[in-house]
Amino acid sequence: MRIVHIYKDYAPVLGGIENHVRDLAEAQAIAGHEVAVLVVQRRGLPASDEILAGVRVVKAKRLLDVQSAPIALSFPHDVARLTRGADIAHLHAPYPIGEACNLLFGHARRTVITWHSDIVRQKTLLRFYAPLLRRVLARADRILPTSEIYARSSPWISPHLAKCTVVPLGIDPQRFAPRESTLARAAELRAQWTAGDDSRLVVLSVGRLRYYKGLDDLIRALVERSDVLAVIAGDGPMRAEWQALADSLGVAERVRFVGSPSDDDLPACFRAADAYALPANVRAEAFGIAVLEAMASGLPVLTTEVGSATSWINQDGVTGYVVPPQDPPALAAALGQLQNAATRWRLGNAAAARVQTEFTRKLMVQRVEAAYQTTDDRLQTIDDGRMTDGLARVQ
């Protein structure tokens, strides 16, 4: 089968969708499919076309960025040539330029869309893009939301539940197993973060520092929790503002901005922490791959109820705690509960078990493959009344 994935960025750019596209494409290549990925090159670099881990990765030259969307003049032509003769054009939304180019210039036999998130903040863009987006969704052969809760609450894909099949994102849990080298590196990282004072609860957050991550609320929660050290691993547009916030609140000594971890260091980062936090403030945080990675590492998780998958993946009182968004006192109270080592052990073990049961890369690839193989009623969809545990399953 010839498959073309279309999105804006690709690993090693740090981000949940970027890593998901890479993981899925590489697994499909291993399974024997002919797989290409079309994205936009990082700023200042030339266009490229190379084979990485069995996947043809085509990066169009970036011209500029408009409201977080990279623009490449060659993208319509690249979509047309790569999808010609392809079995599947697999879009990863939201990326309006990729979706529009595939609608107007794509030639694949079928179009599948993984719906990672609604467009939340870019209201001006959405006003102009909405008519085209409706056409994109109407023409899609299958839509793959990453959770049922998000599909049912999305104004864009809820009208199309008959062709929606939930495919949760997945990871390789073995990558986060407690290997000797990982634990040794984790000890080094923890010593760096704590500067030798290991008396505080170390709470980690990993990812691009975007507004919707809500890490300003975590920083505010530290005002009430002098026994907590927050480690923020990643980079992005909010870093300077959040650093200034920590300074203004007098908690900068207990907030570590450590930059983006390397792929090799990522498992050790999780093992170096006591807990993980993703206090998202809006549903733009639709899933949270790093939440799965933290859970696979045996960490209890703090998330917020924003109507997305984060409060479904993380089960309140079972794998961690779910608190209201934009509520630093509630975050502080949950951090207080995690001071108990026995509580962390119980929640962390349940978190790791949940990943093994529902969120492995193997399961994800199998579900995507099933979605590719059919557009008829052999594949269970959201509106057929037979959902189990919020997941669509092959009958």
pLDDT tens-digit profile of 302-344? 999 998 889 899 999 999 999 999 999 999 999 999 999 999 9
Give the CATH number of domain 2-170+361-384: 3.40.50.2000
Contact 74, 53 (CB under 8 A): no
Lowest mean pLDDT among 281-285, 286-290, 378-382: 378-382
Q: Tell me how far apart the alpha carbons of residues 251 and 228 are, in angstroms, rounded to a whole number.
A: 10
Residue spans in the chain of domains classed CATH 3.40.50.2000: 2-170+361-384, 173-358
pLDDT band at 105 (very low <50, low <70, confident <90, very high): very high
Q: Averaged over 190-211, what is the pLDDT?
A: 94
- Render pLDDT for 70-92 as a digit per residue (tens, 0 to 9): 999 999 999 999 999 999 999 99
pTM listed for this prediction: 0.83
Query: What superfamily in CATH does domain 173-358 come from?
Result: Glycogen Phosphorylase B; (3.40.50.2000)
- Render pLDDT for 379-388 as a digit per residue (tens, 0 to 9): 567 666 554 4
